[in-house]
Amino acid sequence: MLIDSHCHLDFPDFAADLDGVLARARNANVGLMLSIGTRLDKFAGVLAVAERYPDVYCTVGIHPHEADDAVDVDAAKLLSFCDHPKVVGIGETGLDYYYDHSDREAQKRCFLAHIQAARISGLPLVIHTRDADEDTAEILQAEMEKGPFKALLHCFTSGQKLAELAVGLGMMVSFSGILTFKNATAVQATAAALPLESILVETDAPYLAPVPKRGKTNEPSYVSFTADYLAKLRGIGAAELQAATTENFLRFFSKVPRQAVGAQLAA
């Protein structure tokens, strides 16, 4: 059984066939999907999908691209959504210096608010970082010294140094379909080297469909291609990789009831 630890099921790409997307995921042995929040003014849509489907949970947060529109957001605002049983994480948040769609200082302020919310709530923090390894590492180290919090680096494309730092801080690292791309040799080396107990798999759907689906709209069922590739990369069986990443997810996102995972597959 697999878990897609990061997808965006509220996005318009899935609106016309969301039931079909979920059915295909279940047919691919995906026992649970985590749909990720990117804007507070669109969180109602994220939560509606999670409430509609028993095998979908969600997070609440503000993507770094949206930080300019979130200058008034603080930890208290984020925490106000966290009592809902389907809200099991904070984010995604972080730093994106590749696109710089938002001011870098605004991104940092937003990131820090999410860290504080994760620390207070005990819910895991989902981090997006791109071309910002040094600032991400500095913030994570400094904030962890102020008080522990759970976090993961999602859709990992950064340097191995950041991955090792994160694991050293007790964090998780998640790999998307990028892992299967021919030119992703550095990411592949990192995925092969990290401890298995620190790894998750994801789609980031509707983006970044893995080989052999590259160029298509990504969806949770495709997480199986990334998982199979990762298993071969690490020299283990697909069943072992599936069992490990599912257990990692449940240990990390501990608010998700264990009995919820795979319940729809057995129904």
Q: pLDDT tens, position by position, for the chain (267 residues)?
A: 999 999 999 999 999 999 999 999 999 999 999 999 999 999 999 999 999 999 999 999 999 999 999 989 999 999 999 999 999 999 999 999 999 999 999 999 999 999 999 999 999 999 999 999 999 999 999 999 999 999 999 999 999 999 999 999 999 999 999 999 999 999 999 999 999 999 999 999 999 999 999 999 999 999 999 999 999 999 999 999 999 999 999 999 999 999 999 999 998
Inter-residue contact 2 to 30 (CB < 8 Å) = yes
Long-range contact set of residues 68-77: C-beta below 8 Å, sequence gap at least 24? 68/101, 68/102, 68/103, 68/106, 69/39, 69/102, 70/39, 70/40, 70/106, 70/110, 71/106, 71/109, 73/40, 73/110, 73/113, 74/113, 74/116, 75/113, 75/114, 75/116, 75/117, 75/120, 77/40, 77/113
- Give me the amino acid identity at 238: A
How many whole angstroms separate alpha carbon 171 and alpha carbon 97? Answer: 22
How many whole angstroms separate alpha carbon 227 and alpha carbon 144? Answer: 30
How many whole angstroms separate alpha carbon 25 and alpha carbon 219? Answer: 8
Instruction: Tell me, yes or no, if the pTM score tops 0.95.
Output: yes
Question: Quick one: DSSP state of residue 205?
Answer: B
Cis (ω within 30 of 0) for the bond into 202?
no
Inter-residue contact 126 to 89 (CB < 8 Å) = yes
Contacts of 7 (CB under 8 A, 6+ apart): 33, 34, 35, 36, 202, 203, 204, 205, 219, 220
